[in-house]
Amino acid sequence: MVDAQLTARSLDALLGEWRGDGAHYQALADRIRLLVLDGRIPIDTRLPAERDLAGYLDLSRTTVTAAYRELREAGFVDSVRGSGSVARLPGPVLTAAPPIGGDGMLDFTKAALPAAASLPAAARAAAEELPHFLPDSGYDPVGLPHLREAIAARYRERGLPTEAGQILVTVGAQQAIALIARTFLGRGDRALVEMPTYPHATESLRLAGARLVPVTVTAAAAGPHAVGESSFSFTGASGGGVGDGWDVDAVEETIRRANPALAYLIPDFHNPTGASMSPETRTRVMAAAAAQGTIVVGDETTADLDIDRVGNPLPIAAYGVRDAGDAPVILIGSASKSLWGGLRIGWIRADRPLIRKLIAAKPATDLGTPILEQLVVARMLPQMREIVEERRGQLRAGRESVRRLLASHFPDWTMPALDGGLAAWVGIGAPVSSALALGARNHGLLIAAGPRFGLDGAFERFLRIPITYSEEDTARALTALSRTWASSLHTPHPYPYPDPAALADVV
């Protein structure tokens, strides 16, 4: 089914400076292919007719025909009767990401750590434990009892009383987000989201039929780990003097005015800004949500990734006033950020009535969470203090590498103070983030542009740079960006985008 049509004028704006020294048809095909891979041209979008595009780009129709043929043979374009040429993604492109290092692309779109050192031993022990579970069917829609207890114990260690019956194990945090959205949102309901934010979350909310209501989060400007003459501001300062990145007055007003059914928040080491809510902000947000009956969804997938944050706030659920008028609070956790991305184990923590609703809804899309991976995570969670210390050292080293290399390559860029999380939300000073990300591909680097984390093409002046890679790979990435930077200044990406929903496809 064709969802949208791209005009010749819109495609020209997306293409930017695409002509090179080689054949025009090849250069045009290569740029359109990159736009499809980058999500700028959504799948199932009808491309301009060959005659229209040739006229707008001042090319011969033969050149455009050859470019479309090249794309068709590579699987990026399909001919649909009555619809012309339609954008597609060939399956093999997405099944195997390019390797890091060697002759492959350096993939900085993923802000993720390598596996924790204790994972191989835990995996071997779990494999030995697995035969005890083989006589059963293997379908586990709720989660292994001892894993749920280990997750509950982790919450208790963090100061939030929790029982195993309040835990539902999922296939990663992304399934948890989608399950919550599908269960508690109806078509047309409003959902409050931070801007910028994790793109796959907004995608899940939209798929559930929600209308998104944004509130702004900004990164910290000052501190021992900031770089450059920053233009960031503490918008939270107007909200009761909190100064943590959230304008609490604006959040409270938005909740009162919009009356959202659900609020999706990342209170700890926010993705992508790195900001963390202060206890005062958590208290006020929870009170505002309770007054309107808004369900608060706290995404805590990055909560364990502390480097040197001053203070240790409790989970946001601990700041609610537990009375009959309090709003429901749902927390999301994951093993993928702190243990390893290949462990697709997440969980939901909520009151028992909410957990029962989620359990009832889960089989519609999933009949069970992998047993072996649950056994691995159950063995690793009791070691979280040691794992957190290991991660702290890795992230501190990564942060310092990014800070130092940014100062060397881009002294005018601004890296905010960063006391945890997986990436830095870097201000690049010009609205060219998309052009920079596209151009970097020609120098062997894949990186997520700022608009990936916003709505309607916002955040072109920002770039998310992971702090999870080795100094060698970070140096390669910054070198690729520096080689691309000058040309990107002359080819800013257009705003607004023809389809903002296309910006959500990023890790």
- Residue carrying structure tokens 């916002």: 458
DSSP state of 301: T
Q: Scanning the structure block, which residue is given the tokens 């794992």?
A: 387
Residue 466 inside a domain? The answer is yes
Q: Tell which of 56, 91, 126 closes a domain.
A: 91
| Confidence tier at 455 by pLDDT (50, 70, 90) | confident
Check whether 506 has a pLDDT greater than 80: no
Residues 433, 409: one domain? yes
Percent of the chain with pLDDT over 70: 85
- 176's tokens: 């948890």
Domain-ending residue, one of 57, 91, 125: 91
- Identify which has the larger pLDDT, 103 or 219: 219
Q: What is the CA radius of gyration of the chain?
A: 23
| Domains: count for the chain | 2
Angle of helix 24-37 versus helix 61-74 axis, rounded to 10 = 50
SS (H, E, C) 392-447: HHHHHHHHHHHHHHHHHHCCCCEECCCCECCEEEEECCCCCHHHHHHHHHHHCEEE
Of residues 492 and 452, which shows the higher confidence score? 452
Tell me if 375 sits within 8 A of 402, measured CB to CB: no
**Same domain for 482 and 409:** yes
Whether omega before 496 lies within 30 degrees of 0, making that bond cis, reads yes
- For the cut 60, the answer to whether the pLDDT of residue 369 exceeds it is yes
The pLDDT, as a whole number, for residue 456 is: 66
Residue 414 has pLDDT above 90, yes or no: yes
As a whole number, mean pLDDT of residues 426-443 equals 89
- Whether residue 236 is contained in a domain is answered as no
In the block, residue with structure tokens 């800070």: 403
Q: What's residue 505's pLDDT? A: 43
Residue 358 lies in a domain: no
The answer on 106 and 87 residing in a single domain is no
Q: Are residues 425 and 499 in the same domain?
A: yes
* Inside any domain, residue 420: yes
User: Helices 8-15 and 50-57 meet at what angle, rounded to 10?
Assistant: 50
Tell me which DSSP letter residue 293 carries: T
Are both 111 and 39 inside the same structural domain? no
Mean of all residue pLDDT scores within the chain: 86
Q: Do 24 and 87 sit in the same domain of this protein?
A: yes
**pLDDT for the residue 413:** 96
Band of pLDDT at residue 325, cut at 50, 70 and 90: low
Here the CATH number for the domain that contains residue 72 is 1.10.10.10
Question: What confidence tens digit (pLDDT) does each residue in 153-166 have?
Answer: 999 999 999 999 99
Contact 415, 406 (CB under 8 A): yes
Rounded percentage of the chain residues whose pLDDT exceeds 90: 68
DSSP symbols for 27-82 = HHHHHHHHHHHTTSS-TTEEPPPHHHHHHHHT--HHHHHHHHHHHHHHTSEEEETT
Instruction: List, for residues 14-26, the tens digit of each pLDDT value.
Output: 887 788 778 999 9
What pLDDT does 491 receive? 54
Domain boundary among 47, 74, 91: 91
Same domain as 102, residue 13: no
Instruction: Tell me, yes or no, whether 408 lies in a domain.
Output: yes
Q: Is 329 helix (H, G, I), strand (E, B) or coil?
A: strand
Domain that residue 71 falls in = 4-91
Same-domain check for residues 486 and 442:
yes
Query: 142 pLDDT exceeds 60?
Result: yes
Rounded Cα–Cα distance for residues 445 and 54 (Å)? 31
Beta pairing, strands 445-447 & 106-108: parallel
- Looking at residue 357, its pLDDT comes to 96
State the Cα–Cα distance between residues 305 and 387, nearest whole angstrom: 10
Residues 396 and 432 in one domain: yes
The string of pLDDT tens digits covering residues 219-233 is 865 444 455 543 333
- Which of 477 and 16 is assigned the larger pLDDT? 477
User: Same domain, yes or no, for 427 and 494?
Assistant: yes
> Does the pLDDT of residue 429 top 80, yes or no?
yes
Q: 27 with 41, same domain? A: yes
* 3 state SS of 334: strand
Please check whether residue 346 lies inside any domain of the structure. Answer: no
Same domain, 417 and 497: yes
Mean pLDDT is lowest, of 93-107, 291-305, 327-341, for: 93-107
The verdict on residue 313 lying in a domain is no
Highest-scoring range by mean pLDDT, 11-20, 99-108, 258-267: 258-267
What 3-state class would DSSP assign to 261? coil
Give residue 361's pLDDT. Answer: 95
Q: Are 451 and 433 in contact (CB under 8 A)?
A: yes
180/174 Cα distance (integer angstroms):
10
Token output for 75: 């699987």
pLDDT band per the 50, 70, 90 thresholds, residue 289: very high
Q: Is residue 121 part of a domain?
A: no
Tell me: pLDDT of 145 over 60: yes
Q: What per-residue confidence (pLDDT) applies to 237?
A: 33
